[in-house]
Structure 1
Amino acid sequence: MKVYGLIGRSGTGKSFQAVNLCKELNIESIIDDGLFICRNKVAAGISAKRQKTKVGAVKAALFTDEGHMKEVSEAIGKMNPSSVLVIGTSDRMVDKIVARLGLEKIDERIYIDDITTEVQRAMARKQRDEMGQHVIPVPTFQLKRQFSGYFMMPMRMILKEFGSWRDISEKSVVRPTYSYLGQYKISERVMNDIIEGVKRADENVAEINKVGVAVMQDGINLYVTAVFRYGIDLPEAAKRFQKNTVREIEYMTAFNVNRLDLEVKGLI
């Protein structure tokens, strides 16, 4: 396995540049902030950006926890990529990560200052310092489980080739748990309003009686009681209402909906 190191100060755009670098050098996998990303999927690990403190984030990035280290090491062995890009803020940091995960010594070191301009690095620092946003080099749907309830959006890199636009990679922008901007929270009243909106768009649902919300570590569980219209295909209508409700809540709040239990209280 060929091991690359991508090195640069915090907030200089390393994670943003990682996907481009992997495409350019045909690197199969990335180790970034506690995650092992292989072939554009999160294969193992816990994101440092999900930790509650900056100290916790550093520990996660360095794989100090034995369970975390073992999980990622085993995933690397199982997937056996031909190459890996290890991202860190210093030579010492990437060397520690490599040693901790039992990888070979770094074959090639790439410094962010050598592959980006000062303007690009300034833009990255602004995004980090003023907006509290961080980039993770993996598609958004791969991160939903770890970042339930936090700002998250896809960032696609588009290339114009032979007169047509082609989507060449996707990264995700997240706001870390330890960000000074804090954590999103949502009230039951807001959740109820969203579900009422789904009901108004569904002619098969007559009324919503009750909405219960339980906030879990990786998302929310919902309990909804409703009255449906008489004379409809009730199982099909209930499934459709469940599906539409989950979709709207996840879209509008960024929370994962682990489950939505729907109780039909009656027909009118």
Structure 2
Amino acid sequence: MNPYIKTTPAKEFRVIAFVGPAGTGKSQRAQLVARENEVDFMIDDGLLISKGRIMAGRSAKSERNLVRAIRRAMFQFPDHRKAVRTFLEKNAPCKIMVLGTSISMAEKIARALSLPTPELIIDITEVASPEEIINARRERHEKGQHAVPVSRTQLRKNFAGKLVVHLRGLFKSQDKEDGERTIVRPPFSFFGALTIDPSAIEDMVRHVISLSPQVKEVEDIKVGSSDDVISLDITVNVTTGKLNFRELGKREQKRVASAVRFFTGLDIGKVDIRIAEVFFQ
């Protein structure tokens, strides 16, 4: 459930979806599809866009961590989600086009923003030929480049990778930045689904904790998850040393939370460290 109250009736928003697998050229054609369907705003990779301008949100491509990039695109960060929803509230009624790699993804994005289920689904194959899709996928695989339907100046402060080239659409409207798009090379490339197994997090935690000279043994690690927030319950055996047990526990809490957050991009709700046995030396 979203953490804010819907103050605008769903009927004030009309939603369509433009879908296709990653790297098939959706963003390159997004402005044209939006114009043909009289769309007011586009949602693409965490951004709310209108006529080539970023109106609200933050680009998933601004994230240097793959997991955080996926969560950013799906509006799983409360402040990000609220900012976009608030902007839409102020501009209702309006028509919105959600870009996604699948119908399911588009529906999840709409649901995250408390928007109606898309009333129309437009597939990339309806607006691009098989040859164009093949060429787009080749560009993505070989060069790792992505198109973003906004101007270079709009994107410059909202992207972590390299801005490669700026393009203008062949069918230019009177709006200065309508139809513009920028080719970018993000710091990572990704195809398919991503799953982080709890055992991988356990191994990571075990390694980080084991680096402490006062930790003799890691007895048990429990990984919990609720609403995309991770909780860790760690049981250790320790030795006496430079730090008292309270100081040791606080230090290891910070080290574990920082490491897991950095390497996985997941939010850490709590880290509980229990001392089962003490060895004197």
**TM-score range normalised by the length of the shorter chain:** 0.5 to 0.7
Match in the other structure for 1:6? 18
CA distance in 2, matches of 1:134, 1:92: 22
Quick check: 2:151–2:177 contact (8 Å CA) kept in 1? no
Instruction: Tell me which residue corresponds to 2:127.
Output: 115
Change (3 A) 1:168 1:40: closer
Q: Distance in 2 between matches of 1:79 and 1:177?
A: 33
Distance 2:42 2:178 in 1: 17
Cα RMSD of the aligned pairs, angstroms, is 2.3
Residue number in structure 2 paired with 1:53: 65
CA contact (8 A) 1:27 1:84 kept: yes
Shift, 1:80, TM fit: 2.7
Instruction: Call closer, same or farther: CA 1:107–1:55 in 2, change over 3 Å.
Output: same
State the identity %. Answer: 34
2:96 to 65, 71, 84: 84
Matched, 1:156 2:156: no
Classify 1:50/1:155 alpha carbon distance in 2 versus 1 (closer, same or farther; 3 Å): same
| Structure 2, unpaired ranges of 5+ | 1-12, 191-281
Q: Kindly state the Cα deviation for residue 74 of structure 1 after the two structures are TM-superposed.
A: 0.8
The residue number in structure 2 matching 1:216 is none
Aligned partners of 1:98 and 1:104 also within 8 Å = yes
> In the alignment, which residue of structure 1 is the partner of 2:43?
31
* Separation in 1, partners of 2:168, 2:182: 8
Q: Is residue 178 of structure 1 aligned with residue 203 of structure 2?
A: no
1:137 equivalent in structure 2:
149
Residue 186 of structure 2 aligns with an amino acid whose one-letter code is P
Q: How far apart are 1:11 and its partner, in Å?
A: 0.6
User: What's the TM-score, normalizing by structure 1?
Assistant: 0.61
Aligned-residue offset at 1:168? 6.3
Hey, what's the Cα distance between the residues in 1 that align with 2:93 and 2:61?
A: 24
CA shift for structure 1 position 160 = 9.3
Q: What CA deviation, in whole Å up to 9, does each residue of 1:112-158 have, x standing for no partner?
A: 12221111101111221111110111111111111366224311112
How many residues are paired up?
176
Q: Deviations over 1:51-104 (max 9, x none)?
A: 113222211110111111111111111233621110111111111100100111
Kindly indicate whether the alpha-carbon contact (under 8 Å) linking 1:139 and 1:154 is maintained by their aligned counterparts in 2. yes
TM-score of the two chains, using structure 2 as the length reference = 0.58
**Uncovered stretches (5+) of structure 1, i.e. residues with no partner:** 181-268
Equivalent of 2:179 in 160, 166, 169: 169
In 2, Cα distance between equivalents of 1:81 and 1:16: 26
